[in-house]
Chain A
Amino acid sequence: MKKLRSVMAVSMIVSAGIAAAGARDYIYVVGSSTVYPFATVVAERFGKSTKFKTPKIESTGSGGGMKLFCQGVGVKHPDITNASRRIKKSEFDKCQANGVKDIVEIKIGYDGIAIANSKKAPRFKLSRKDIFLALAKDVPDPKAPESGKLVPNPYSTWDEINPELPSYKIEVLGPPPTSGTRDAFAELAMEGGCKTFAWIKQIKKDSKAAKKSGDKKLAKQLKNKYKAICHGVREDGRYIEAGENDNLIVQKLEANPKALGVFGYSYLEQNEDRIQGSQIDGVLPEFELIANGEYPVSRPLFFYAKKMHVGKIPGIKEFLVEFTSEQAWGDEGYLIDKGLIPMPAEERKKYGKAAKQLIPMKF
């Protein structure tokens, strides 16, 4: 009897749930954990200063967010997804196939990736080549770097790579492969150093040439080879995956002054009294230098909105306007206080217009 009654109760609750899922009066945002600290600030202000409800923001990672976003149109699916990289062609196509037609692309600013150590130790002056040689899985043979021969990374201290660097053991704490920060780090810092070897760069050129001549298979093969060389991180314990928690990396750096850490600029800014960012190719990770593009390891941040949800879910348009207003992403806006690096005024104008007029993106 009791069981029967509770079974009935469960089915009633479930059916009530399905009925209630038919409406949603708040904006639903998913996506990158890097954009999360910025999107949440905008959401909070938006909720407090307008008559709309505060948007719900889930931190799912860029890839996970795209997957949810492109699943379809309707109240069940998110209205906006944040990304710490541009949408991929494959993702865009999947969106289109699932009926998510008009996507508004907004770039919100830049995020610098800092390579930092404790203030108790001297500041590192690195080049992207140093970073590549210190962290790559396989490196060009040190005896004959241009011979085209790769050997497993033989370096164990920094001064073996570059005599000007300290004689510390190579020990770098950084994000795991699932993280967007890691992708950007591999692409910008490591690949940047990797490309300085002419023969590795040639692989990429060959791949492009093959693509042009129509040999897709060879092009893909070469491209994968290039990626494996440039993006492969060593797995012998010199690069330590410290999880997605950047605060943890900061604490570990303080405890171990000889180690370096890789994380977003906003964490460096919050902990400036304890840690210092390394110079990369002669440029420090400082606000102005990241903003004007001199600092080489920085990446753009985006969000994508579904135009088809505008008018169905209240407040989307207003939320976009708030996000792209000067008081948010302008040179002195509140997002900048939270560590976002602003775009130049011209870019802001372009994307601000896209947000106001809901101009769909083209691939």
Chain B
Amino acid sequence: MSKLIKATVKRGQIREAVEHSLIKRKKRNRRFRALGLSAIILGMLFVGVMFASIISKGYSAFWRTEIQLPIHFDPAVIDPQNTGNPEVLASANYQKLVKDALRKQFPEVKKRKEKRNLYRLVSSGAAGQLRRLVLKDASVIDTTQNLWLIADDDVDQYYKHGQSQSRLKEKQLAWLAQLRAKGDLRSRFNASFFSTGDSREPELAGIRGAVVGSFFVILVTLGLSLPLGVAAAIYLEEFSRRNRWTNLIEININNLAAVPSIVFGLLGLAVFINFFGLPRSAPLVGGLVLTLMTLPTIIIASRAALKSVPPSIREAALGMGASKMQTTFHHVLPLAMPGILTGSIIGMAQALGETAPLLMIGMVAFIVDIPGSIMDPATVLPVQIYLWADSPERAFTERTSAAILVLLTFLVLMNLLAIRLRRKWEKRW
């Protein structure tokens, strides 16, 4: 370079040299900006494609197809002895009522095999609908009512996506066309997707059980990791003396944050289940395992937040005669709280989306009943997604995507909350 300058100075062409290099520098600048921009565009594109694919596959799960049938609540089927006993009412053969109604609607169907195909139009969950109706109000017995019943998943897929993706037989399509012509086929908001537990029938499967399970797991995780993590961070940052031991602890905490999550699952299996004898599949154990996983995240975030509180605050408090503990709890901790909470929420969001450690402790299970406490067997949202993705029934594809949408919504909400908290309480010094 200097040689070049000397040479140009000799010729008195400094100006030209500068202009020459300026063009080069500007070019470089532009190139770097273009690369940066294209990286962002590419990243956004991937996110966009992912969201578009999930939404386009999943949105249809929020609707369900229903078939209207005149159901005769035959007392001879429901309660032949006229006992009115709720147990008798609960165990009656409601499937038969649905079958009778279907046969009445299509009297031309006579052959056994054809009848079976006909019965397959309506979901096996329709019997449950009728049972609930009778148990709620026994006066419907011996009346005939026009009811909208849940359609089978094959019918549902046909109604949503047309014939190209349907496994229905020709006869079944003809029956559906008849129903449709009479206006006895409709699509409605699938509220039961949010209110029921898992099922092997796609049209009946819901995410309530998984959401409640996730809630319990996160509750345990938050309840344990927040106090433990904050206490550890305060001690390390404010009280402990710097020596070899605290250095060792610090290095270990940083290392723990990088340990693959499956390892925590194995640890949980060995310690909580095999040693302490806690039940498998319980949210308590899931929460304990995820606590181990999120603790380092929370400790590191909390320490960073405590560190960012200026020393002048501490010195002022100490100067006014406050004890070390008063200084910490009355002045430093409140100022560090937004940072601590942000870190914790992000740690919780991470725990909410975690599957691997939960595989080891028996949370990959078919659980229909909604868990009522942290000791009941439960599964969580990401595991539910995993289970549905592996189910043979085609209709589970859209349910898988819909469950992913629900999980993503929770994650986005938690991250928004973290951003809001930071915006609202953050202080700049």
Name A residues whose Cβ lies closer than 8 Å to a Cβ of B. 2-3, 5-6, 9-10, 13-14, 17-18, 20-21, 24, 26, 33, 36-37, 39-41, 43-44, 47-49, 53-54, 56-59, 76, 244-247, 264, 266-267, 269-273, 332, 334, 337-339
The smallest C-beta distance from B242 to any residue of chain A, in angstroms, reads 20
The smallest C-beta distance from A78 to any residue of chain B, in angstroms, reads 9
B367 A17 Cβ-Cβ under 8 A: no
Given A6-B228, A37-B200, A266-B392, CB of A54 within 8 Å of CB of B369: yes
Partner of B375, one of A20, A47, A245: A20
Contacts A54-B369, A339-B392 aside, 6 further interface pairs with beta carbons under 8 A come to: A6-B227, A9-B227, A43-B368, A56-B365, A58-B362, A264-B392
Q: Which 4 residue pairs of A and B lie closest in terms of their CB atoms, listed nearest first?
A: A3-B231, A54-B368, A57-B366, A6-B227
Chain A residue numbers with a CB within 8 Å of B120 are 337
Given A40-B366, A56-B281, A59-B365, CB of A270 within 8 Å of CB of B276: no
B278 A21 Cβ-Cβ under 8 A: yes
Given A49-B91, A334-B124, CB of A273 within 8 Å of CB of B392: no
Partner of B200, one of A3, A17, A40: A40
A44 B278 Cβ-Cβ under 8 A: no
Q: List 13 A-B contacts (CB under 8 A).
A: A2-B230, A6-B224, A9-B223, A17-B285, A21-B279, A44-B201, A58-B281, A76-B277, A76-B279, A266-B392, A270-B392, A338-B200, A339-B392
B227 A36 Cβ-Cβ under 8 A: no
Partner of B366, one of A36, A244, A334: A36
A58 B280 Cβ-Cβ under 8 A: yes
B381-400 at interface with A (beta carbon < 8 Å): 387, 389-394, 397
Chain A residue numbers with a CB within 8 Å of B128 are 48
Chain A residue numbers with a CB within 8 Å of B232 are 3
A271 B389 Cβ-Cβ under 8 A: no
B368 A47 Cβ-Cβ under 8 A: yes
The smallest C-beta distance from A329 to any residue of chain B, in angstroms, reads 15
Q: Which residue of A lies closest to B378 (CB)?
A: A56
Given A21-B279, A44-B200, A270-B167, CB of A58 within 8 Å of CB of B365: yes
B367 A54 Cβ-Cβ under 8 A: yes
C-alpha gap A6/B364 in the complex (Å): 29
A17 B278 Cβ-Cβ under 8 A: yes
A18 B277 Cβ-Cβ under 8 A: yes
The smallest C-beta distance from B175 to any residue of chain A, in angstroms, reads 18
Partner of A2, one of B227, B282, B375: B227
The smallest C-beta distance from A279 to any residue of chain B, in angstroms, reads 22
B78 at interface, CB cutoff 8 A = no
Partner of B231, one of A2, A244, A270, A338: A2
Chain B residue numbers with a CB within 8 Å of A21 are 277-279, 375
Chain B residue numbers with a CB within 8 Å of A273 are 165-167
